[in-house]
Amino acid sequence: MVRDSLIGFWHILRSMGLTLRYFFSKPVTVQYPKEPVQLYPRFRGRHLLRRYEDGPYKGLERCIGCSLCAAYCPTQCIYVHAGENKDGLQRSPGERHAEIYEINLLRCMFCGYCEEACPTGAIVLRREFALADYSRESLIYTQDLLLQPAQPNAIILDDGTPREEMGL
Amino acid sequence: MDWVADFWIPVIKAVVVVLALLVAGAYMTWGERKICSRFQVRYGPNMAGPFGILQPLADAVKAIFKEEIVPSHVDKVLYLMGPGISFAAVLITFAVIPFGPEVDLFGKQVGLWIGDVNVGLLYLLAIAGLGSYGIVLGGWSSNNKYSLLGALRATAQMISYELPLGLSLLGVVLIVGSLNLRQIVEYQGNWPLIALQPVGFLLFLIAILAESNRSPFDLPETENELISGFMTEYGGIKFALYFIAEYTAMVVNSAIVATLFLGGWKWPAVLSDLHPLVGVALFLAKVLFVLFLYVWIRASTPRVRYDKFMRFCWKFMVPLALINLAVTAVVVALV
């Protein structure tokens, strides 16, 4: 009984010593809109539909409308509607392209499976993460938006001016 | 009747002390969040004003402007009285605590205390018991099983901690030979009573943690098992009143610890003899130290299980307090 209570007392003193050590350490909080966040190398942010940058298909969309990403998506947030490539209006190499390509970012959990499923490397997750908006509709990203290059993430300095930080 | 000495000075003192206590209680919420977050390697509130210093104001405004909801199944009168009782009991506790010596203010001798009561210690214990009524009535009148369980715990806990609380103070009374808090402070000019009563100090500190429902003994309000216990049905300013009563109780209890064991405004006498205000500053420093201790303990210890707390109170603290009392009595009788 006495021994137990002495041991308990000692343990409490030790735990208080431990917490006191942390009391004098610097907080690890990142004051995000004012300070940049450290992004890890394989961070997955907003999706991007890529185009061919060079080679015979330069400028064409990589997406061929195969819907493998939609099939693979765990949250079923991707909707793909494929269309035929007409002669003279070649949007992607081969026969088909994505007529409609939409991602519901409210549903997406940024797992990156679409990126894995894609046979042409058309859909990739880049590092843009500041995606807040005011309506649900505006967070259903359409093909036009997804074809836009990812925006650099900005932090806001004390004087109110945004500064671009945190590379893509 | 001397109106200035008998009426105005006590009234002004009382108003100033009550306002100071309110501010101290409000800022204790900020202080705890700030200190606690540093223990958890965070910053805590830092957006409202520099260092988040305006956070209590923002919280108060938010609480006041919330809708006043009185659930239909509650006992209305007691439900509304609960927070008030808790809060009032805390405020009147401070009435007997001396926070400084007699000072010369505008040509008048003013004692820096509200009531110089002969049985001040007894008064403290009595009022400390009253505070639990707010919790018990609030929990009971809420007509909700979680609140009722919280209230039940509060009653059982009160019976358990009041005994070691009182017993641990008897050593102080035996040594000083008075229940008057002023005389207890005056006695501690050379040595604070913690040096003579270390066991009594520890017991009192633990009992007072339980009295103000603080972690690790915050059993009536355990937010994860009783969803805030007696406070479940309270919202808006009524909840804020309970909340601020708890934090003001922390301030008042720290003041009691500082007065009884840490020498109040008197120790060390070398400093407090310099100027009366140095004494007040000493008192405040001691209160702040005990408040820090409160938060420190909260940040370090997990909540005690209910039956273990009961066992701890009855089988450990009460016998230890009795042994401490017996030893002190023998020593006082011999010396």
Question: Which one, of B127, B154, B128, lies nearest residue B140 by Cα?
Answer: B154
Minimum distance, in Å, between the CA of residue B312 and any CA atom of chain A = 10
Query: Is B103 in contact with B276 (CB distance < 8 Å)?
Result: yes
pLDDT of residue B195: 80
d(CA B324, CA B171): 7
pLDDT band (50, 70, 90) for residue B221: confident
Nearest to B301 among A15, A22, A27 (CB): A15
Residue B1 structure tokens: 């009747």
Q: Is A167's pLDDT higher than 60?
A: no
Residue A36, phi then psi, degrees to nearest 5: -70, 150
CA A86 to centroid of chain Cα atoms = 33
State yes or no: pLDDT of B201 exceeds 70: yes
Residue A103 is encoded by which pair of tokens?
A: 């991602």
Chain A residues with beta carbon closer than 8 angstroms to that of B301:
12, 15-16
Tell me which residue in A12, A15, A28 faces B41 most closely, judged by beta carbons. Answer: A28
Closest by Cα among B8, B248, B209, B228 to B106: B8
The average pLDDT across B44-62 equals: 87
Residue type for A41, please? P
> pLDDT at position A104, please?
92
A1 neighbourhood in chain B, CB within 8 Å = 316
Chain A contact for B199 (CB, 8 A cutoff) = no
Q: How confident is the model at residue B163 (pLDDT cuts 50, 70, 90)?
A: confident
State the pairing for strand pair A140-141/A96-104: antiparallel
A124 beta partners: A48
pLDDT for the residue A75: 92
d(CA B197, CA B281): 24
Distances in whole angstroms, Cα of residue A86 to Cα of each of A83, A95, A98, A147: 9, 8, 13, 20
Q: Which residues contact B196 (CB under 8 A, 6 or more apart)?
A: B171, B175
Residue-wise pLDDT tens digits, B250-295: 898 899 998 888 887 887 877 777 877 888 888 889 999 999 998 9
CA distances (Å), B107 to each of B4, B98, B234, B274, in order?
Answer: 12, 21, 48, 19
What's the mean pLDDT in B41-62?
87
- Nearest CA to B202 among B290, B300, B307, B309? B290
Q: Which fold has domain A47-164?
A: Alpha-Beta Plaits (3.30.70)
What is the average per-residue pLDDT within A40-53? Answer: 86
pLDDT at residue A129 is higher than 80:
yes
Residue B203 has pLDDT above 60, yes or no: yes
Q: Tens of pLDDT along A56-88?
A: 888 888 888 889 999 999 999 999 998 888 877
Q: Quote the pLDDT of residue A152.
A: 76
Closest-CA residue in chain A for B206? A9
pLDDT number for residue B242: 86
Q: Mean pLDDT: which of A71-80, A142-151, B63-72, B277-286 is highest?
A: A71-80
Average pLDDT, chain B: 85
Estimate the share of chain B in helix, then strand, then coil, as percent rounded to the nearest 5.
Answer: 70, 0, 25
Predicted TM-score (pTM) of the model is 0.80
Residue of A nearest to B296 (CA): A16
Token readout for B115 is: 């009531």
Predicted pLDDT of residue B105? 74
